[in-house]
Amino acid sequence: MTTPWWQSSVIYQIYPRSFQDANGDGIGDLKGITQRLDYLGGLGIDAIWISPIYPSPMADFGYDVADHCDVDPRFGTLADFDELLAQAHARGLKVLLDFVPNHTSDRHAWFAESRSSRDAAKRDWYLWCDPAPNGGPPNNWISDFGGSAWAWDETSGQYYYHAFLKEQPDLNWRNPAVQAAMYEVMRFWFDRGVDGFRIDVLWHLIKAADFPDNPPNPAYRPAMGEMHRVLQLHSTDQPEVHALAAEMRAIADSYGIAGLCERVLLGEIYLPIDPLMHYYGQEHAGVHLPLNFLLIDAPWQAGALADLIAGYEAALPPAAWPNWVLGNHDRPRIARKLGEAKARIAAMLLLTLRGTPTLYYGDELGLNDAKIPPSQVQDPRELREPGLGLGRDPVRSPMPWDGSENAGFSTAPPWLPLNADCHLRNVAEMTGERASILALYRRLLAVRRAHPALAIGAFALLDSAGDVLAYERRHGTQRLIVALNLGTDAQRLELPDWASGCRLLLSTTAEALLIENNMLLLRADEGGVLAA
């Protein structure tokens, strides 16, 4: 049995506004991505996932889609997309798009029709409700971006539901016509040749039919953001969502020829482990990879991480393949959470765990959250609930490519400020430095590619003490040890007998790891991959 490509792959997430601007308007675009494909190929990743590129009023920077089957002129044209796809495929890179099925833009033609009157043909394509008896919103559901999730529509005298901005009305996925229309969208892109989708907020698609109030969240504190005032018991993760995921999977599968050109589905799902596992579906009929965000919020402590990884592995359905994530366009950068030294260990962890990692653009440079002056805030989340640290602009700063003006991202001032250290922390500068985190990422990706034990092998934790997290990756006779010192003091790891005489494949530092008898000595923030 051959391993499907998506299991042995590393997926690189591109936020298209911020990757490379090719036409000098300060906003990244498709031609820019195409120009940088050689960089991506050389880095050693296997697939790119591009956040939304569709026509959009950009109220939520593309996650408010006005037409699912076209490209926003800011990003280019369908022809530019075809060219990007062809160029990526020519380099052996797969291309995933972001599928945003839960909601559309309020400027989508479907919504315009739906809101035109109560008898509109597409009225039932969205979630319309009469006011509560007091005239207020139908229930207590809260938007993820704060405030009631119901918007009043004066013309037709009803409320519509929006889990995010009021400019992002939720579709009614109980309506078969909506399902059919959105499945057509998937086919449109699959027919064009895309290799898969990351599915936006998959667990949101279905809401409880009678819209009951959500229960209050006893742990709520205002600093968490208003959405956490209630638990999203009835507004998300309803049992009927799994049939929809299965339908999407069937469409993806219908494009695979004998396992060769399989199309992959990644599901964005922020849920605890048990409900998350259901998104693999009965008999693997769900998405291939429910995204696993556990590492993002995990305490950086060896015992806690070992428990978390073991817990995740143990919870997986038989033969289910895991995914691991350190960062994305919604969450603080890993380097902001840990600092650069520990971000290097995190890189080794991400690329040596069992599963398909998704790597967020710029994390390979150790980018920190950028400072965004209040006057330059763009993210609607920050604008609606300022000062809580929920804003996402800091993790969407332009990719710094070189030491030239605007860091080679654009000839014009970029749409968001660059990171302050971009004259030093950029691709050109760090490519020349053997000890840079970029060089480490390149070595990690190369070692992973050269060792099936890392890409597809079995995983087992090793006994370790103190701040050391250690595990074995094994494929056939190939046995590797990954040892990570998460602490700031030197640590020892007693190597198992089978590892005697092991050699170092790669370390996070420039220096060789010290092995004395059967003891591995790890300096502060040092990690290594060893071959037995």
Reduced to 3 states (helix: H, G, I; strand: E, B; else coil), residue 76 is coil
The torsion angle over the Cα atoms of residues 502, 521, 366 and 5, rounded to 10 degrees, is 20
Which is closer to ligand GLC, CB of 227 or CB of 482?
227
Tell me which of Ca ion, ligand GLC, none is bound by residue 525, counting a contact when its beta carbon lies within the kind-specific cut-off of 5 to 8 angstroms: none
**Based on CB atoms, which residue is closest to Ca ion, 23 or 509?**
23
In terms of CB distance, is 56 or 419 closer to ligand GLC? 56
Q: Near Ca ion by CB under 5 A, which window of 8-16, 22-30, 43-51, 303-311?
A: 22-30
Least distance from ligand GLC to the Cβ atom of residue 296, Å = 13
- Give burial (CB, 10 Å; 0-12/13-18/19+) of 437: buried
User: At its nearest, how many Å lie between Ca ion and the CB of residue 32?
Assistant: 7
Instruction: Pick one of Ca ion, ligand GLC, none as the site partner of residue 29 (Cβ within 5 to 8 A by kind).
Output: Ca ion
How many C-alpha atoms does 288 have within 13 Å on its Cβ side? 21
- Cα within 13 Å of Cα(58), Cβ side: 12
Provide CB contacts within 8 A for 314, sequence distance 6+: none
Closer residue to ligand GLC, CB minimum distance, 100 or 495? 100
Least distance (Å) between residue 268 CB and ligand GLC? 6
Buried-exposed string 224-240: b where 16+ CB fall within 10 A, e elsewhere: ebbbbbbebebbbbbee
Kindly list the strands in the beta sheet with 514-516, ordered across the sheet, starting from the edge strand earlier in the chain: 491-494, 519-522, 514-516
200 contacts which partner out of ligand GLC, Ca ion, none, CB within 5 to 8 A by kind? ligand GLC
Residue nearer to Ca ion on the CB measure, 25 or 67 = 25
> Nearest residue to ligand GLC, using CB?
63
Contact of residue 247 among Ca ion, ligand GLC, none (CB under 5-8 Å per partner type):
none
CB of 74 to ligand GLC, least distance (A): 17
Q: 134-152 burial by CB neighbour count: b if 16+ within 10 A, else e?
A: eeebbbbbbbbbbbbbbbe
CB of 5 closer than 8 Å to CB of 262: yes
Helices (H), 220-316: 241-254, 273-277, 294-297, 302-315
Alpha helices in 74-231 (DSSP H): 78-90, 109-116, 176-192
Q: Give the interface size with Ca ion as a residue count (CB under 5 A).
A: 5
451 contacts 64 by C-beta, under 8 angstroms: no
Q: What residues line the site for ligand GLC (CB under 6 A)?
A: 60, 63, 100, 164, 200-201, 268, 329-330
Return the residue nearest Ca ion (CB atom).
29
Closest approach, Cβ 419 to Ca ion, in A, equals 19
Range in contact with Ca ion (rule: CB under 5 A) among 16-24, 431-439, 472-480, 495-503: 16-24
Nearer to ligand GLC, 291 or 462 (CB): 291
Q: CB neighbours of 3 closer than 8 A, spacing ≥ 6?
A: 455, 456
Q: Which stretch binds Ca ion (CB under 5 A): 24-32, 47-55, 120-128, 455-463?
A: 24-32
The reply to whether 21 sits near Ca ion by the rule CB under 5 A is: yes
Question: DSSP per residue over 265-291, as a string?
Answer: EEE-----HHHHHGGG-GGG-S-SEE-
Kindly state the smallest distance separating residue 77's Cβ from Ca ion, in Å: 12
Sign of the Cα torsion 117, 119, 125, 126 reads positive
CA–CA distance, 438 with 184 (Å, rounded to integer) = 40
Answer for which of 4, 8, 23, 208 binds Ca ion (CB under 5 A) is 23
- Which range of residues in 25-33, 36-44, 98-106, 361-369 is near Ca ion by CB under 5 A? 25-33
Query: Is-catalytic flag, 200?
Result: yes
Location of structure tokens 């070692």 = 447
**CB within 8 A of 235, min separation 6: which ones?**
141, 149, 163, 204, 207, 208, 214
Sole window of 23-31, 97-105, 310-318, 467-475 interacting with Ca ion (rule: CB under 5 A): 23-31
With CB under 5 to 8 Å by kind, the binding choice for 21 among Ca ion, ligand GLC, none is Ca ion
Q: Give which of ligand GLC, Ca ion, none residue 164 binds (C-beta under 5 to 8 Å, depending on kind).
A: ligand GLC
Catalytic residue among 29, 46, 106, 200: 200
Catalytic-role residue among 29, 64, 268, 525: 268
Distance of closest approach, residue 14 Cβ to Ca ion, in angstroms:
14
Rounded CA-CA distance 531/502 in Å is 5
* Parallel, antiparallel or unpaired: strands 289-290 and 264-267: parallel
Q: Least distance (Å) from ligand GLC to the CB of residue 61?
A: 7
Nearer to ligand GLC, 70 or 330 (CB): 330
The entry of ligand GLC, Ca ion, none near residue 201 (CB within 5 to 8 angstroms by kind) is: ligand GLC
Contacted by 170, from ligand GLC, Ca ion, none: CB < 5 to 8 Å by type = none
**Minimum distance from CB of 466 to ligand GLC (Å)?**
37
Q: Which of residues 27-46 bind Ca ion (CB under 5 A)?
A: 27, 29
Whether 406 contacts 412, CB under 8 Å: yes
Q: Give the Cα separation of 363 and 343 in Å (integer).
A: 9
Tell me the C-alpha distance between 140 and 145, whole Å: 14
Residues engaged in binding Ca ion (CB under 5 A): 21, 23, 25, 27, 29
Q: Which residues are catalytic?
A: 200, 268
